Amino acid sequence: MLRISELKLPLGHTPEAMKPAIIERLGIKADDLEGFEIARRAHDARRKSAILMVYTVDVSLRDEAAVLARFAGDHHVRVRPDTSYKLVAKAPEGFDGPRPVVIGAGPCGLFAGLILAQMGLKPIIVDRGKVVRERTKDTWGLWRRGELNPESNVQFGEGGAGTFSDGKLYSQIKDPRFLGRKVLEEFVKAGAPEEILTEAHPHIGTFRLVHMVEQMRALIESLGGEYRWRNKVEDFDIEVGADGSRRLKGLHIAGGDYVPTTHVVMALGHSARDTFQTLYDRGVHIEAKPFSIGVRIEHPQSWMDRARFGDCAGHPDLGAADYSLSHHCANGRTVYSFCMCPGGTVVAATSEPERVVTNGMSQYSRNERNANSGFVVGIDPERDYPGHPLAGVAFQRKWESLAYVAGGSSYRAPGQKVGDFLAGRPSSALGEVTPSYKPGVTLTDLSTCLPDFVIEAMREALPVFGRQIPGYDHPDVLLTGVETRTSSPVRITRGKDFQSVNTAGLYPAGEGAGYAGGILSAAVDGIKVAEAVALAYVAEGLIP
């Protein structure tokens, strides 16, 4: 089969229009085309008056070699790549050797566990939180009643941080082995809509994610994997040799259990601050890394649809409009939009008592009234939190605690209208935008809970973004704070073999370790690390 990319048709074209478009693009006769399937679908809305659908299409032809020869040098016509996934190792049937352990049942741990299970290595997956249905009740406890469970919330429990989310499934990572495709295919088997395999910007929304992680749990268990809930890893048993070499021997679980193991995928997520501290105390190499802080910004979704799609706003082939913005400020900072959730809600995302953190989520339909996204400023250890590998955690905590106080010390979030924010005065009444954050927003002055340089950068960027998307900086647009958990404040550094640079047997993985950002990239990293564990099993003679 050949693959044609950048095949463009007008918005609203009929399905029948595809065949003649392929024939024309390739300059072939109608009966030379034996069949085709759509591999990817995107839209190009740069010209609102002439929005285009942009396809990648796989085609079967009577004489592929001849067409390929004619298009030599045209990288939009090539042989279809093999995107199938192949396991790098396989344990013998009935394997009863030492079982690898995965810490964390987020996207990274889930895919590490799945691949290890598919290789026959019967992983044990431990998570501090609960199964997803119980976790959902706890999460709603914060949103509806202002009651936080520090071990079961938006960050902790089955499905990880991505469960109550927009479920965006795209990423900028380089993926020459098509591991992202493996992730999407497993998601479809677990109940995601098939369209995620072809949409350029797929999303699944939060309700489906809940069902999908349950399906994946059943699959992993059917392959010999085992889950242990409410199992917080409290300490790491590390053997230090006479030569100073360090090797993991086992895990201490809160409550007293001990799990002997020499191969651990550590997929903790970015909010496992207590575990980062334990790792640091045990001498595991860990370093501070850059992340971003700021606020969530909320607009009516209809404003975004109109600004992006003009008269075509609401067209079913376009869905709810998203955006991606970035601006380099005079003070050297970069301000950008982060984790944009069309037609969604702003959510309370703290995992620690007396702190306020924002994030965003949506349902599959994306039909809530508001669009929201992070409006954040890049920060880095050298300048902003120097001196200690965990200083970024202390920095996050400081602003999250101030936000809790600014919101009224009740898990309400501090909010401010853009007009007031730009004028430097507290807000006292809402305008056209109704906040979606639960348990509620307290109107105030956000400069009390963000660093001055962040406020300064946001003030500079707002009108710049307003010139790109009319209405972005409308005075009634609402800012809710604070957005601090944009990515991990640490990197748990690993070597080429994916093990910690100073502790053998420990495989730092996913977002918490600083090797991913987002559901898809965390899942892909989980696959890579599972493969590294399996190859270590082969090298150590534990499997042939």
Residues that bind ligand FAD (CB under 6 A): 103-109, 126-129, 154-157, 160-162, 164-168, 232-233, 267-269, 272, 275, 339, 347, 349, 359-361, 510-512, 516-520, 522
Strand ranges, E, within 116-232: 124-126, 226-228
Q: Is 244 or 255 the residue whose CB approaches ligand FAD more closely? A: 255
**Closest to ligand FAD by CB, 39 or 264:** 264
Min dist CB 95 to ligand FAD, Å, is 24
Q: Which of 523, 527, 529, 524 is nearest to 213 (CA)?
A: 523
Q: Mention every residue, 6+ apart, whose C-beta is less than 8 A from residue 282.
A: 235, 236, 238
> CB-wise, 106 or 389, nearer to ligand FAD?
106
Q: How far is the CB of 74 from ligand FAD (least distance, A)?
A: 33
Q: Minimum Å distance from CB 226 to ligand FAD?
A: 14
Q: C-beta of 158: minimal distance to ligand FAD in Å?
A: 7
- DSSP character string of 43-68: EE-SSGGG-EEEEEEEEEETTHHHHH
Nearer residue to ligand FAD within complex by CB, 4 or 124: 124
Handedness of CA 288, 292, 295, 298 (dihedral sign): negative
The CB-of-426 to ligand FAD minimum distance in angstroms stands at 27
Amino acid at residue number 359: N
CB of 544 to ligand FAD, least distance (A): 30
* Bridge partners (DSSP) listed for residue 236: 251
Supply 272's token pair.
């496992």
| Cα–Cα dist 404/350, whole Å | 10
Closest CA to 331 of 169, 177, 456: 456
377/503 Cα distance (integer angstroms): 34
Q: What whole-number distance in Å separates Cα of residue 112 and Cα of residue 116?
A: 6
Q: Of the two residues 421 and 508, which places its CB atom closer to ligand FAD in the complex?
A: 508
The distance of closest approach from Cβ of residue 511 to ligand FAD in the complex, given in angstroms and rounded to an integer, is 4
| Residue 424: strand, helix, or coil | coil
Q: Half-sphere exposure of residue 12, counting CA atoms within 13 Å on the CB side?
A: 7
- CB closer to ligand FAD, 4 vs 184: 184
CB closer to ligand FAD out of 43 and 168: 168
Rank residues 61 and 348 by Cβ distance to ligand FAD and give the closer one.
348
Task: Show Cβ contacts of residue 206 under 8 Å, excluding neighbours closer than 6 positions.
Answer: 163, 164, 165, 166, 167, 361, 362, 363
**Between 100 and 109, whose beta carbon lies closer to ligand FAD?**
109
Residue 404: partners with Cβ closer than 8 Å, 6 or more residues away: 354, 355, 356, 411
Q: How far apart are the C-alpha atoms of 490 and 276, rounded to whole Å?
A: 8
Q: How far is the CB of 403 from ligand FAD (least distance, A)?
A: 16
Sort 406 into a burial class: Cβ within 10 Å, 0-12 / 13-18 / 19+: buried
Give the shortest CB-218-to-ligand FAD separation in angstroms: 18
Q: Which is nearer to ligand FAD, 67 or 527 (CB)?
A: 527
Shortest distance in whole angstroms from residue 121 CB to ligand FAD? 19
